[in-house]
Amino acid sequence: MLVLTGALASSHQPISGERPVLEAVNGLPGWLVWPVRGVMVFGTTGGALAVVALVGMGTLWRARDGTGWVAHRRPGWTPTIVSLLTAVVGARVAFEVLKRIVDRKRPSGFLTELPHLHVRDHAAGLGYPSGHATMSMAVALTLSACWPRARWPVVALAVAVSLGRLYVGVHLPLDVAGGMALGVLVSAVAAAVGRRLTAGASQAETAAHDVPH
């Protein structure tokens, strides 16, 4: 998906099918702009880091022992936080690099082809891939790997972020599709990092139990 959308976006023109999808989402009622902007915060670097901070505090709280200190035998919070930070940093680096490679304009650069575009937000820089779509999907899927019960709500939130970028008129459908695909790739790397840390922590704990006292 990432290779396909990237190749299509490299044509530097909206492809067939993008215009009706954009117009359908972008043409939704104007009063949705404020709730949509609120949802889109999840796709920013600051919003993603806020999620990491909240998850970190929540995980540390749950890992307390009876004295109020973090239990030494509950190392699971470390892989979780490292995985999420890997997702945030990886997403940021990946979409910034890919934007420069593909070099695609935002919808405002195609006003001749998109005469009915409602630009409800203003964003600088290049279009493909959507940074919001990349960040939100990477964080959502990494959270899902850590807490499977949260999978559908957070993935739905990431999809809403991506659709929000179409609604406010700052991305074309290929931009958000490519961003979501890139987020999937980044989350796979982040999850692998988490699994590696979890395995290492488990081995260390097993070794500590095996040491004769």
Per-residue pLDDT of the chain (213 residues), as tens digits, is: 899 999 999 988 889 889 999 999 999 999 999 999 999 999 999 999 999 999 888 777 766 555 444 444 445 567 888 999 999 999 999 999 999 999 999 998 887 778 788 888 888 899 999 999 999 999 999 999 888 888 999 999 999 999 999 999 999 999 999 999 999 999 999 999 988 877 655 454 444 445 555
pLDDT for the residue 204: 46
Q: Specify whether the CB–CB gap between 95 and 181 falls below 8 A.
A: no
Euclidean distance between CA atoms 201 and 75, whole angstroms:
7
pLDDT for the residue 65: 54
pLDDT for the residue 1: 85
pLDDT for the residue 77: 66
Amino acid found at 163 = L
The residue to which tokens 């936080």 are assigned: 81
pLDDT for the residue 161: 98
Omega cis (within 30) before 129: yes
- How many Cα atoms within 13 Å fall on the side-chain side of residue 86? 23
pLDDT for the residue 50: 95
Q: What is the pTM of this model?
A: 0.87
Secondary structure in 3-state letters for the chain: CHHHHHHHHCCCCCCCCHHHHHHHHHCCCHHHHHHHHHHHHHHCHHHHHHHHHHHHHHHHHHCECCCCCECCCCCCHHHHHHHHHHHHHHHHHHHHHHHHHHCCCCHHHHCCCCCCCCCCCCCCCCCCCCHHHHHHHHHHHHHHHHCHHHHHHHHHHHHHHHHHHHHCCCCCHHHHHHHHHHHHHHHHHHHHHHHHHHHHHHHHHHHHHHCCC
pLDDT for the residue 211: 52
Cβ neighbours, 10 Å, residue 111: 11
pLDDT for the residue 150: 87
pLDDT for the residue 117: 86
pLDDT for the residue 213: 52
